[in-house]
Amino acid sequence: MKMWDGRFQESTDALVEEFNASIGFDYKLAQYDIQGSMAHAKMLAKCGIITTEDSQKIIKGLEEILAEVEAGEFEFTVELEDIHMNIEKRLTDKIGAVGGKLHTARSRNDQVALDVRLYLRDQIEQIKGLVKQLQEVLLELAEENIDIIMPGYTHLQRAQPIRLAHHLLAYQQKLKRDYDRLVDCYKRVNILPLGSGALAGTKFPIDREFVAKELGFAGVSQNSLDAVSDRDFVIEFLAAASTMMMHLSRFSEELIIWTSSEFDFVEISDSFCTGSSIMPQKKNPDIPELIRGKTGRVYGNLMQLLVTMKGLPLAYNKDMQEDKEGLFDTVDTVKKSLEIFARMMAKTKFKADKMKASTEGGFVNATDVADYLVDKDIPFREAHEIVGKSVFYCIEHNKKLSELTMEEWQGFSEVFSDDIYHAIAIETCVDARNTIGGPARAEIERVIKQEKEALN
């Protein structure tokens, strides 16, 4: 028996039944479907559309079903196609024909839109918690490792010296924006679509504001056709998730590079690495590699839904059933990635001496020599030229800038005097950059304090 059997002469093809069904994945919406139905049933009675007695029977039945779902005892069947019909059928089995009154003034089209919104609201809250947690780990690490000086890079070439804490805080800032994107996306998820019916609302005197209040929605959708055809809220979430994964992926990429013997800046804990089946010496950074890899999968889910939606006429089309697997997959992937990344970072050891040693080569203090000349009233462009020549000289003579004698300095410009050595000492170079957002110790300390306060 199908819900639409009245109109049909032939039964559904067995392959079609399987192909058409979404229960294989939308069973994940069970608790939200029940939550939404309870609020709907309550509203139907409040508005006099069904009796209070019927409403109470329905709600009691739904409560029992929820307990079955939570206990893992609910049996989902493909013949009943999706989560909505699985639950409704169970309800009528339990409480009889009165269960059939639940779907009054409702369609699966506004029902599914509601379920996905309830699900996503819940998930966004959880993901926000995980983003915060990772930020906390980074702030802790920044604080603990404030003394570590390392090269900052552009084009992956050593550029200027910074603090490791500065690098960690860069990711904390990116994650902070990721968090804000979730907060922003939530605002548009948090709108009630129920009451839009199949596409054109309903004749029944429903109270949408009441349902919104019951379910904690901040507002009610203002166009029924829009509400059942809209999946922007999913796309927006997938875009926010993709951006966040892009950040984790860049960080992962750096960790992978940093663990190579060529860099040797960090030691990822054994519990986050694997060995090789053939090469006994190997310790591979699988976890950052996997997070980098899973980023592609999350982008794929965003692309898939954008492409699915691009040609759809209003309002609901079955294509839209394809919105769920990618969403669920993204939610699971992002949650696991954030959690594992935080745990991995908390156990990662940074090699202060290696990082510091790396700032000794690569002329990372060349800009500081130019700035020194500017202080002595030489125009910056001229200073740049003079330092370029001194760097070239150093390369030719296999020297560091700090190893040039006063005589050699004077050869490039007579304004050089003994204070040059202090001016280009690596610590000086870092701590002199004390503008807002710079790598100087005092500034890093200020930002850590500010961001910790903001998190609490």
110: contact with ligand ARG by CB under 6 A: no
- Of 81 and 451, the one with the shorter C-beta distance to ligand ARG is 81
Count of residues interacting with ligand ARG (CB under 6 A) = 10
Q: x/- site string to ligand ARG, residues 39 to 78, per CB under 6 A? A: ----------------------------------------
Our CB check for ligand ARG shows the closer of 4 and 154 to be 4
Q: Is 115 in the site for ligand ARG (CB under 6 A)?
A: no
Asked if 178 touches ligand ARG (CB under 6 A), the answer is no
CA 369 – CA 293 distance, rounded (Å)? 42
Give me the count of residues in the chain: 456
CA dihedral 84, 86, 91, 97 (to 10 degrees): 90
If the CB atoms of residues 86 and 337 are measured against ligand ARG, the closer one turns out to be 86
Instruction: Determine the Cα–Cα distance for residues 448 and 140; give it in Å rounded to an integer.
Output: 9
Query: Least distance to ligand ARG from the beta carbon of 322, Å?
Result: 8
Binding mask 292-331 for ligand ARG (x = CB under 6 A): ------------------------x-x-xx----------
Beta bridge partners of 161: 151
Task: CB nearer to ligand ARG: give 86 or 145.
Answer: 86
**Given 109, 252, 333, 367, the residue binding ligand ARG (CB under 6 A):** 109
- 112 contributes a contact to ligand ARG by CB under 6 A: yes
Residues 6+ apart with CB under 8 A from 303: none
Place of tokens 């109470």: 56
Instruction: Look up 84 and say whether it is catalytic.
Output: no
Q: How far apart are CA 29 and CA 323, in angstroms?
A: 13
Position among 40, 42, 90, 108 found at the interface with ligand ARG (CB under 6 A): 108
Q: Which of residues 74-93 bind ligand ARG (CB under 6 A)?
A: 82
Separation between Cα atoms, residue 99 and residue 91, nearest integer Å? 6
CB of 125 to ligand ARG, least distance (A): 23
CB of 126 to ligand ARG, least distance (A): 22
Q: Does 22 bind ligand ARG (CB under 6 A)?
A: yes
Q: Is 145 in the site for ligand ARG (CB under 6 A)?
A: no
Closer to ligand ARG by Cβ: residue 24 or 437:
24
Please report how close the Cβ of residue 111 comes to ligand ARG at its closest, in angstroms.
7
CB of 297 to ligand ARG, least distance (A): 21
Give least dist CB 298 to ligand ARG, A: 21
Say how far apart CA 375 and CA 372 lie, in whole Å: 5
Nearer Cβ to ligand ARG (103/128): 103
Beta carbons of 168 and 175 less than 8 angstroms apart: no
Binding mask 236-275 for ligand ARG (x = CB under 6 A): ----------------------------------------
In angstroms, rounded to a whole number, what is the distance separating the alpha carbons of residues 454 and 225? 41
Q: Residue 238 is encoded by which pair of tokens?
A: 């997938």
Query: For 390, phi and psi rounded to 5 degrees?
Result: -65, -35
Q: Which residues contact 288 (CB under 8 A, 6 or more apart)?
A: 251, 252, 253, 255, 256, 268, 344
Give the residue with the Cβ less far from ligand ARG, 22 or 367: 22
Catalytic residue among 11, 40, 107, 155: 155
Q: Is 438 exposed, middle or buried (0-12, 13-18, 19+ CB in 10 A)?
A: middle
Helix axes 232-259, 324-346, angle to 10 degrees: 30
Cα of 275 vs its chain's centroid, Å: 29
**113 interacts with ligand ARG by CB under 6 A:** no
Nearer to ligand ARG, 6 or 280 (CB): 6
Q: Is residue 167 annotated as part of the catalytic site, yes or no?
A: no
From 276, 397, 417, 422, the catalytic residue:
276
- The set of catalytic residues is 155, 276
Q: Site residues (CB under 6 A) for ligand ARG?
A: 22, 26, 82, 108-109, 112, 316, 318, 320-321
